[in-house]
Amino acid sequence: MYTTERLRELDKLYVWHPFTRMREWLEGEPLIIERAQGVYLIDTEGRRYIDGVSSLWVTVHGHRKRELDRAIREQLKKVAHSTLLGLSNVPSILLAERLVRIAPKGLTKVFYSDNGSTAVEIALKLAFYYWQKRGRPEKKRFLSFSGAYHGDTIGSMSVGEIDLFVERYRPLLFPSYRAPYPYCYRCPVGRTYPECSLKCVERLEAVLKRAHRRISACIIEPVVQGAGGMVVAPQGFLREVRRLTKKYNVLLIADEVATGFGRTGRMFACQWEDVSPDILCLAKGITGGYLPLAVTLTTEPIFRAHLGTRKNPDAFYHGHTYTGNPLACSVALANLEVFEKERVLDRIQPVVELFSSILEGFRELRHVGDVRYRGLMAGIELVEDRQTKKPYRADLRMGWRVCMNARKRGVVVRPLGDTIVVMPPLSIKKRELKRLLSAIYESIREVTEGA
């Protein structure tokens, strides 16, 4: 057996961690997870931590969920992988049928890939080619929102707008249009909700009016913008986006990689406003947090645009090696079965209520500027000065320090800048949720007030 010390040494020698300042990592004492159970992560020393961010937003029914473990074991007795290029396999068929059944209406075709960024790349390529085939070749640009995050590949970065992540790669990216996302705490159009009557929508309409002839699709993270800081859009915004994209003949891509699978309290965030997008991207929670899998769902017209004619048959020239992987699809199916069998979306309602009522109490902390949440997704934004909403100096790394402090209290969370993200598995029990939130509360207090 390797000791924790030896594992740390080897990690530092060989593993390059994503979104991680490796210079600091090499000086620190990395936490190494060995096992997990329910909402708990367990390290190589046997210490237990509540998984406060669902292992980066993926774990749904908790770790080592019996039904999910079993689905993988059963599928292993049949086949681990077989390709979808020119062949089919059983779990990918059954999962596609099931996804279409629960997705917003009109989405009838399922294209598989294996992560959120590729689900978005696929959406962009589908939208672009759709207009090429419809005789509108000039519709080749995209419209996205301020603070958007759609992944780390070149195309998905091009429609993203978190400067820290994308600025240095800007010369590689294609240009796209931007509209303001309703980040109400720091309103991009200087208004206050609800008196504003969604004034920001006018800015979106102005862009569409000016450029719709060149725009193939608008891409949005519906209801909650994740990596941009857990920004919760006010009721009605998404519906306006759908109305305007229809009015200006622009496709709507809903990136529900983060919000899908119950995170916001509905199966899909679009369902909060009865919106059907033309393209829907799903990943993260799709396998309950077990295996990498993603899907891009789309409509009949977009599918048909890729058929060509009998004389000139066409294809969608895209596909990843592990597309439709049977193990991943079978655990995704089991994930959806648990949702149904345990009536998860009904069952979590009291937990969601407790979550919001405890979170409201965070507003009494002197350096909590904003608390925003929907379902079991929340962001707590720390500020130096609450009156002026002045942020902390970035080099103070307050968000990061709060999360490190929480770790001492048996909680794993990860900040987005100075916004503390809380996104526990849907299976979290009230008692565990109270523990999680009180640890975070105490950490914020200790770090920001030195108390």
User: For binding to ligand PLP (CB under 6 A), which residues are involved?
Assistant: 115-117, 120, 149-151, 221, 226-227, 255, 257-258, 283-284
Q: Which is nearer to ligand PLP, 141 or 284 (CB)?
A: 284
Rounded to whole angstroms, the Cα distance separating 90 from 324 reads 10
Element (H, E) at 438: helix 430-449
Q: Which is nearer to ligand PLP, 111 or 392 (CB)?
A: 111
Q: Which is nearer to ligand PLP, 281 or 411 (CB)?
A: 281
Q: Which is nearer to ligand PLP, 212 or 242 (CB)?
A: 242
Residue nearest to ligand PLP (CB): 116
CB of 396 to ligand PLP, least distance (A): 26
Rounded to whole angstroms, the Cα distance separating 50 from 436 reads 7
**H-only helix segments in 134-197:** 154-158, 163-166
Phi, psi of 289 (to 5 degrees): 95, 20
Cis preceding-peptide flag for 137 (omega within 30 of 0): no
CB of 281 to ligand PLP, least distance (A): 7
Q: Which is nearer to ligand PLP, 109 or 284 (CB)?
A: 284
Q: Which is nearer to ligand PLP, 38 or 182 (CB)?
A: 182
CB of 264 to ligand PLP, least distance (A): 12
Q: Looking at residue 3, what DSSP letter applies?
A: -
Rounded to whole angstroms, the Cα distance separating 369 from 383 reads 5
Rounded to whole angstroms, the Cα distance separating 79 from 262 reads 29
Among the listed residues 410, 397, 180, the one whose alpha carbon sits nearest the alpha carbon of residue 382: 397
CB of 113 to ligand PLP, least distance (A): 10
**What SS3 state is found at 373?**
strand
Q: Which is nearer to ligand PLP, 51 or 221 (CB)?
A: 221
Q: Which is nearer to ligand PLP, 226 or 288 (CB)?
A: 226
Q: Are 345 and 265 in contact (CB under 8 A)?
A: yes
Q: What tokens appear for 359 in the block?
A: 């979170």
CB count within 10 Å of CB 57 equals 23
CB of 57 to ligand PLP, least distance (A): 6
Strand-strand pairing, 224-225 and 231-232: antiparallel
Q: What tokens appear for 37 in the block?
A: 């159970």
Strand order in the sheet with 215-220: 109-113, 294-298, 279-282, 251-255, 215-220, 141-145, 177-179
Q: Which is nearer to ligand PLP, 113 or 448 (CB)?
A: 113
CB of 183 to ligand PLP, least distance (A): 15
Among the listed residues 160, 126, 120, the one whose alpha carbon sits nearest the alpha carbon of residue 143: 160
CB of 90 to ligand PLP, least distance (A): 25
Taking each helix axis as running N to C, give the angle between helix 430-449 and helix 349-360, from 0 to 180 degrees, rounded to the nearest 10: 20
CB of 320 to ligand PLP, least distance (A): 12
CB of 293 to ligand PLP, least distance (A): 10
Q: Are 371 and 378 in contact (CB under 8 A)?
A: yes
